[in-house]
Amino acid sequence: MDLQRRAFLAGAAALSLAQAARAASAMGTAPGPVRPTWSSLVNHYRYPEWFRDAKLGLWSHWGPQSVPGQGDWYGRFMYMQGHPMYEHHLKTYGHPSVEGMKDIQNRWKGERWDPDALIDRYKRAGAKYFVALACHHDNLDCYDSRYHAWNSLRVGPGKDVVGIWEKAARKAGLRFGVSNHAAHAWHWYQTAYGYDPTGPRKGVRYDAFRLRKRDGQGQWWDGLDPQELYTGGHAVLPDGIDSIEAMNAWHDANNGQWIESGPKDDPAYVTRWLLRQTDLIDKYRPDLVYFDDYGLPFGPVGLEAAADYYNRSIQWHGKIDVVLTAKQLSPEARFGVVQDVERGYTDHIWDEPWQTDTCIGDWFYNVARLNDKSYKTAEDVIQRLADVVSKNGNLLLSIPQPGDGSIDGEEEKILDEMTTWMKTGSEAIFGSRPWRRYGEGPTLPAVGMQNEEKAKPFTARDIRFTTNKGALYALVLGKPERDVTITSLAAGPKAGVVERVTLLGGGPLAHRRDHRGLHVEFPRQTAGFVPTLRIEGRGLV
């Protein structure tokens, strides 16, 4: 990896310090030694020890799209006739030519939101850092935004949601992060400029197409410009489409891709994004920033944002002590920012720290998950945590909140069961480091992003290893019905000596060792899930 780093640094384009300073000044970014190039990010960045020790973060992926309780991407799909979210919107709120996403945003009130109580519950469940959603693809800034009038102080809750989360998290001693998804709003929102291709309102354009700032006179959004929210018509559905199939095909081809560049007809959109991002960093000084992007947003502008963040960290802490995450990075780029693997797995121990993010249900609250009891269980979460940590990663877990800001009874139960496991199992997780191999067992999750649905259930033969304070830990992912054999600890000339095996939360266990492995006698009735062994001896770690 050192050779990769040197080759990358040698081949990457660089700016002079004077050029970097001028660029930073022009964009309002912080000056400092880190320049907006990949080579400079790689040269200056070191992964903070707090992040390597933390292992588990909890995420409030909460915003206006939580209000309908229908799950993810409501602000896009409510404008696509034939989609279940369109049908829900029509029945519940009215036709999207009149009642649009802007109005759903104003329905977001958070009237039952108790951030201090939630943070306390998350901390007891093991969270060492907390992440607040700052802006999703629906383009509402959930904070006191200087450069974007559509924000949560003027729309919906009337509160600085990110600022309130930040105070609660820091008061509880947690590291604090924010997530920014707004780089994709400009193409994601183009369905709002469309129309029904069939039915009684065929051809009637939706609210984003029709409304301008002047139309808000006397309305709740008086003084706000809907075009700033909906980002402008960059890929507008043409007239004359007369079937739902043709409409869907057109959107898929013209604005349905994951586009990482900015709109060609509105370069100012990218500039505004950078101003909003640097404002967010300046106001809340987050320890972690999550970008929902493949690579950095908007190429060179994302590099500006990264350099700004790192230079600000140097001003705050005297060093770069923060984490910036992005997705689908080249191996070399992972030396400059932390790679996030959304809802996915890896099959090996990474040399550098990484993060996977997932949710116990849909990203935005979906009441169907409660009704049909389809959340991930606490056992699922702890299995996932053990797998990720054994491979040098962290887990960022979202607990969906309805629009009122509460969490439901099933989610409370999941968090309570996580809390119970942490009382005994936490020493195998927090502050740990990978062993010489991540684990063993027959269940091999598919490698990549967004492939959780392909994962098969873990068994008692699936074991993950960590090390901490001189001890080796073996986390048994399935519930053992009989004695467990750990083949990775088979006897051998260089295998070390096993002196003690302790079940965390239990006590010492009888064991024997031969050429097939370490055989551990489990109690006939092992309570809980993911039982964890502390294995002590000589030459094991």
Residue 10 in this model has a pLDDT that exceeds 80: no
Q: Quick one: DSSP state of residue 183?
A: G
**205 occurs within a structural domain:** yes
Specify the CATH number for the domain of residue 490. 2.60.40.1180
Q: Which of residues 523 and 307 earns the better pLDDT score?
A: 307
User: Which one, of 531, 529, 512, 532, lies nearest residue 521 by Cα?
Assistant: 512
pLDDT digits (tens, 9 = 90+) for 456-480: 999 999 999 999 999 999 999 999 9
pLDDT > 90: percent of the chain: 92
Distance between alpha carbon 237 and the CA centroid of its chain, in Å? 31
The verdict on 143 and 279 lying in the same domain is yes
The verdict on 306 and 325 lying in the same domain is yes
d(CA 296, CA 45): 15
Largest CA distance in the chain: 83
pTM: 0.94
Determine the pLDDT at residue 25. 45
Q: What three-state secondary structure class fits 214?
A: helix
Instruction: Please compute the mean of the pLDDT values over residues 46-66 and round it to a whole number.
Output: 98
Determine the pLDDT at residue 421. 98
The verdict on 118 and 231 lying in the same domain is no
The verdict on 316 and 444 lying in the same domain is no
Determine the pLDDT at residue 446. 83
The verdict on 315 and 339 lying in the same domain is yes
Instruction: Please compute the mean of the pLDDT values over residues 125-134 and round it to a whole number.
Output: 98
Instruction: Using the Cα atoms of residue 360, residue 364, residue 365 and residue 369 in order, give the sign of their dihedral.
Output: negative
The verdict on 171 and 274 lying in the same domain is yes
pLDDT digits (tens, 9 = 90+) for 310-365: 999 999 999 999 999 999 999 999 999 999 999 999 999 999 999 999 999 999 99
**3 occurs within a structural domain:** no
The total number of structural domains in the chain stands at 3
Final residue belonging to a domain, choices 237, 254, 271: 254
The verdict on 227 and 285 lying in the same domain is no
**39 occurs within a structural domain:** no
Final residue belonging to a domain, choices 428, 463, 480: 428
Determine the pLDDT at residue 5. 42
pLDDT digits (tens, 9 = 90+) for 186-234: 999 999 999 999 999 999 999 999 999 999 999 999 999 999 999 999 9
d(CA 111, CA 131): 20
Domain containing 83 equals 72-88+187-254
Instruction: Using the Cα atoms of residue 490, residue 493, residue 495 and residue 500 in order, give the sign of their dihedral.
Output: positive
Instruction: Using the Cα atoms of residue 208, residue 214, residue 218 and residue 223 in order, give the sign of their dihedral.
Output: positive
**30 occurs within a structural domain:** no
Distance between alpha carbon 257 and the CA centroid of its chain, in Å? 20
d(CA 157, CA 178): 18
CA distance readout (Å), 146 to 177, 281, 413, 512 = 19, 12, 39, 65
Instruction: Please compute the mean of the pLDDT values over residues 81-103 and round it to a whole number.
Output: 98
CA distance readout (Å), 331 to 34, 59, 347 = 20, 26, 15
